[in-house]
Structure 1
Amino acid sequence: MSALADLLREWIPEQRWFGSKGRVLSTVDTTPIELCQDPLVELHLVYVGYGDGGADVFIVPLSRHTDRDDQLERVLIGELDEDPRWVYDAMRDREVTPLWLDLFAAGHHHKELRFHLEPGAEVPLGIPGDIVSTEQSNSSLVYGESAILKLFRRLEPGLNPDVEIHDALHTRNNPHVAPLLGFLAIEGEQTNGQEDGTIAMLQTFLPAASDGWSLAAASIRDLYAEGDLHPDEVGGDFASESYRLGEATASVHADLAAVLPTGTLGIDQLADVLAGMNGRLEAAVDVVPALAPYAEGLRARFAELTDLTGPIPVQRVHGDYHLGQVLRTYQGWT
């Protein structure tokens, strides 16, 4: 294991985007892909093996500086014995964040990396990116009021569903979908026995927007603060917004059904789906024991699926869909 891999072995489990909390990292290997030489910026594919079996490939951009930078102290990963010796989290090293936009605008192609720019897309240049602190599983940079870059921290085979869905919806002009500007793919890399994967996507940014989680949390906070009032009497009541969010969700799902495959499930197939849901719940409880008090209620909800009679219509949807992923602008939900 290299010195850099040793640093990452200690650093990765402490990051919010690391989803395997509680698992022991038994092996860590890293493959760098150089993006810039001065300062040195590298995209690392970090291959992690776990003590209980299984493996993941994480995407970790790093910047390296010859001199230690006091302004980057909080994003310092560690020191190496070779120059440039000081290693930082490149997603939080503001000096190097404009590089991503430069590479998209140039349609950069280096070894297995390819920056794809959507036809007619305009990319702002010379703007540093600011990290989005509320994200859990990925990392995003906001560039002024123009664009947002989402880095997918775990490398999965094939085109990321986020990119696939936004690309498919391009022709529908749905007002609840922020236009896709481009995406970054790795081509020819073997991941879980399949080729290719998606590193990041670049989207139009929606300024002056609030994420759904923050709005819902503020609504509950206000409700508790005004204990003698009904929810609809509190200024931040989320009930009406949740209804509008449901309408926006239905609109997007209708367009998805129009541009992506649909199908039906029989009763036997539904049983397989139910078994998979219960299996994932058990695995989640093993990793996060605090979920145990809620497990029985979730199993009961899952069991209600057996009341359905086939054939049951199914369609492609955005799997990673939650309040933290939606934004409320003056025009509505996106």
Structure 2
Amino acid sequence: MSEAATQSEAATHPTATSPASPPAAEPGPGLLVSLEPLLREWLPRQRWFAGKGRPVTGFGLVAATELLPVGAAKAGLLHLLVRAHQPLVPSQGTPAHPGDCYQLLIGVRETLPPRLAPALIGHVAEGPLAGRTVYEALHDPRLADVLLEALRSTAHVGDLRCERDTRRDIPEGLVPRMLTSEQSNSSIVYGDTFILKLFRRVVPGAHPDLELPLMLSRENCPRVPAPVAWMLADLGRTPAEREPHTLGVLQPFLHGAADGWELALSVLAKGEDFTAEARALGRATAEVHTALTRALPTVTLGRPQLESLVDGMTGRLEAAAQAVPALRTYAPGLRTAFAALADLAAEGRTWTAQRIHGDLHLGQCLRSPSGEWSLIDFEGEPSKPLAERRLPQPVARDIAGMLRSFDYAAHSARPPADGWATVCRAAYCSGYADVAGADPRTDPVLLRAYETDKAVYEVLYEARHRPEWLPVPLAAVHRLATDPCTDTP
């Protein structure tokens, strides 16, 4: 069946997302028991599964909603929030927690057509789905269209509810396709018009990837695609404890836009100049930071907050040096970056903190065909607790992340283009100053501390996951540890 035919059938089949249809039935209590043997094998293999390296000891069903009846002629759709129980990595002071909660979208069919074979989860042997085949629903255009219809109609089904900006039209008939390049989340593009980002690890509270773009849209900041619709789950043991959990955000798809990382690598391969783009990207970053200061309060970091910040940076350095022997020789020099910041705090120096992007690098930036830069993916580092990701921080953290990204791009070239990174870093800071009125290089101690902290994180990450990349952050570590003045772009 063609995608167009599938789309048409989905539009005419009554679903739980249609305002005229009855509320969807809750799946039976034996559902998770029947799926558990399959999920134990399938879930740890997913790129977005955060608990790799630790066995899954069991599952808990947080919420289950039937978005399309499992007895439907073609395919049913189950929305599950499942808690995966895993043993904690032993460490002093690690609090016990019930396990990560994952958002699963499960397609249910009698048999799976060959085109959906890569999406297979398995064949259910017992329970309410016995004899059925279950699969990752996002690969199925028919089921992906159910999600868009839910957002279009602001459906409220079970614990799930959808909201939208009613000023924006969401047309029907947009053919969906799932993107395969993401790691911590999953995305579906609808007709090159919208992109739906679904968060796989679900946590309670305001999610920054919805919260901040909404704030920026109210400030008329054109550098961030404004949310068009979003999906939430209201969860809690009692009505008084119910709290919204953000499940997904629909935003405009920037058709034809170039990923900043891929664009930089392309320019490097051709031996071309990137400084004009770097400067424009610096201006875009400053526009977003400035808009965030208008939208949300700023705070002043005094000595107690800065000492806590330094303690955290120093602790991460010590832990990384224990895990990566190649880092140990540089540790004394790297500590001076944090000590210099502590010294300024002791002298009474303060800094302003605000909401920031939190995980800024070239891959989080898109350049439109007209040459305008946009910033995307405001969720911060997914491995960090949500409360920490929502804390106000100095803008130097975002800037340091981008400076490290230029360094990574330069070292990805063959041969490495060290001079390329230097001029791009300088151009980026100059562009930032054009808008912000203050050049990040005029605050070298803070900038060096944040870039050092980022490089230490990179050393640990590469040693664990991509050892062949370890020389890239080690080169920065050598520079940062050897001469404090060399960090100024």
2:456 counterpart residue number:
none
Shift in alpha-carbon separation, 1:194–1:96, aligned structure 2, 3 A: closer
Question: CA separation in 1, counterparts of 2:64 and 2:201?
Answer: 15
Q: Which residue identity is paired with 1:210?
A: A
8 Å CA contact retained: 1:190, 1:196: no
2:243 counterpart residue number:
195
Shift in alpha-carbon separation, 1:168–1:4, aligned structure 2, 3 A: same
Report the 3-state secondary structure (helix = DSSP H, G, I; strand = E; otherwise coil) of the residue aligned with 2:263.
helix
* Cα-Cα RMSD: 2.7
Report the 3-state secondary structure (helix = DSSP H, G, I; strand = E; otherwise coil) of the residue aligned with 2:228.
strand
Report the 3-state secondary structure (helix = DSSP H, G, I; strand = E; otherwise coil) of the residue aligned with 2:83.
strand
1:272-304: CA deviation from partner (whole Å, max 9, x where unpaired): 223334556777899xx6x77468579545555
8 Å CA contact retained: 2:82, 2:104: yes
Pairing 1:100-249 to 2, within 5 Å after superposition:
100-189=147-236, 195-220=243-268, 222=269, 234-235=271-272, 237-249=273-285
In proportion to residue count, which structure has more helix? 2
Q: Which runs of 5+ in 2 are unaligned?
A: 1-31, 89-95, 375-489
Shift in alpha-carbon separation, 1:15–1:285, aligned structure 2, 3 A: farther
Work out the number of aligned pairs and report it.
318
Question: CA separation in 2, counterparts of 1:23 and 1:194?
Answer: 30
Pairing 1:1-334 to 2, within 5 Å after superposition:
2-30=33-61, 31-37=63-69, 38=72, 39-52=75-88, 54=97, 55-81=99-125, 82-83=129-130, 85-189=132-236, 195-220=243-268, 222=269, 234-235=271-272, 237-277=273-313, 293=326, 300=335, 305-309=341-345, 310-331=349-370, 332-334=372-374
Give the Å deviation of 1:27: 2.0
Shift in alpha-carbon separation, 1:195–1:264, aligned structure 2, 3 A: same
TM-score scaled by length of structure 1: 0.85
Question: CA separation in 2, counterparts of 1:97 and 1:122?
Answer: 18
Report the 3-state secondary structure (helix = DSSP H, G, I; strand = E; otherwise coil) of the residue aligned with 1:97.
helix
Question: CA separation in 1, counterparts of 2:66 and 2:319?
Answer: 37
Question: CA separation in 1, counterparts of 2:325 and 2:48?
Answer: 22
1:231 counterpart residue number:
none
Shift in alpha-carbon separation, 1:308–1:64, aligned structure 2, 3 A: farther
Higher Rg of the two aligned structures: 2
Q: Which residue identity is paired with 2:373?
A: W
Give the Å deviation of 1:24: 2.6
8 Å CA contact retained: 1:64, 1:84: no
1:168-204: CA deviation from partner (whole Å, max 9, x where unpaired): 112222121112101111113469x872210000101
Q: Which residue identity is paired with 2:254?
A: L
Report the 3-state secondary structure (helix = DSSP H, G, I; strand = E; otherwise coil) of the residue aligned with 1:67.
coil
TM-score scaled by length of structure 2: 0.60
Question: CA separation in 2, counterparts of 1:10 and 1:279?
Answer: 36
Give the Å deviation of 1:34: 1.4
Q: Which runs of 5+ in 1 are unaligned?
A: 224-233
Question: CA separation in 1, counterparts of 2:142 and 2:167?
Answer: 28
8 Å CA contact retained: 2:154, 2:163: yes
Question: CA separation in 1, counterparts of 2:105 and 2:299?
Answer: 39
Shift in alpha-carbon separation, 1:242–1:10, aligned structure 2, 3 A: farther
8 Å CA contact retained: 1:65, 1:84: no
Question: CA separation in 2, counterparts of 1:111 and 1:124?
Answer: 25
Report the 3-state secondary structure (helix = DSSP H, G, I; strand = E; otherwise coil) of the residue aligned with 2:57.
strand
1:227 counterpart residue number:
none
Q: Relative to structure 2, which stretch is displaced further, 163-172 or 269-278?
A: 269-278
1:50-82: CA deviation from partner (whole Å, max 9, x where unpaired): 212641101111111111221111111111023
Question: CA separation in 1, counterparts of 2:310 and 2:237?
Answer: 31
Question: CA separation in 2, counterparts of 1:28 and 1:74?
Answer: 24
